[in-house]
Amino acid sequence: MVASITNRKPRCWGVIPAAGIGTRMGGDRPKQYLQIAGKTVLEYTLDCFLNNDLISATYIAIAVNDSYWEESVSGKREDLIMVEGGQERCHSVFNALLHLMPEADERDWVLVHDAARPCLRKDDITMLVNAMSDDAVGGCLAIPVKDTMKRSDQDDRVAETVDRSQLWHAQTPQMFRLGKLFHALKTALESNYLVTDEASAIELTGEQPMLIEGHTDNIKITRPDDLLLAEFFLQQQGRIPA
């Protein structure tokens, strides 16, 4: 890795794990390649990072046998680097960080964002970067839980009602220092912890990521109805014609 440059302001890099297949969608292709108003979910997601002056470059992790990537994203860009994805999200993110490490400084920031979250607002990226710039740990966008929360038993009956006052729905991007996140994920994987987000890896090191309130339209495409909802939100944001 390049030597630390103490007089340089830390840069921000995007990382997008996009090797998943999205089995719950039941489609003929991974959900990031499904269409919304003539463009793929992934194209809307990438647009937030590739046309953003805050992001130096974006690393995207693609499945080895991905046959949709070339037709989905046309043209090569120096600020978009494709790397090999892994079995799970954490493997894809870790591999992206492996490729980023020689190009960046450990103090640089990494913003990891779900490929299937196309409605991210660019203003929320700015808000997250500004909020985390001097933070010792890092953090992520999140939404406070509003509904009454129930914990079930094995028969799907209510075991208890959970206090929601300090519960949040975690979103992405999740923003951490490159060196800190790399070593946290490395430690988790070596211990066979398949963490489902980057904050979990940081938590395993004993640190407490910050939660920054985002917007409810930053949804993750999971089920077929989510495509219609995402189209509505993108229209409201002015990113596609109403």
Question: What percentage of residues in the chain have a pLDDT greater than 70?
Answer: 93
Asked: is 12-236 a CATH 3.90.550.10 domain? The reply is: yes
Beta strands at 80-84 and 55-62: parallel, antiparallel or unpaired: parallel
Residue numbers of the chain with a pLDDT score lower than 70: 1-7, 22-27, 74-75
Domain ranges of the chain: 12-236
pLDDT given for residue 202 in this prediction: 98
pTM confidence score: 0.93
Residues 6+ apart with CB under 8 A from 140: 128, 170, 171, 172, 173, 174, 175, 197, 198, 199, 209, 210, 211, 212
Give tens-digit pLDDT for 132-147: 999 999 999 999 999 9
Distance between CA 82 and CA 56 in Å, rounded?
Answer: 15
Tokens at 68, concatenated? 């949709």
Distance between CA 81 and CA 95 in Å, rounded?
Answer: 12
Give tens-digit pLDDT for 154-177: 999 999 999 999 999 999 999 999
Q: In whole angstroms, how far apart are CA 57 and each of 139, 164, 234, 235?
A: 20, 38, 24, 27
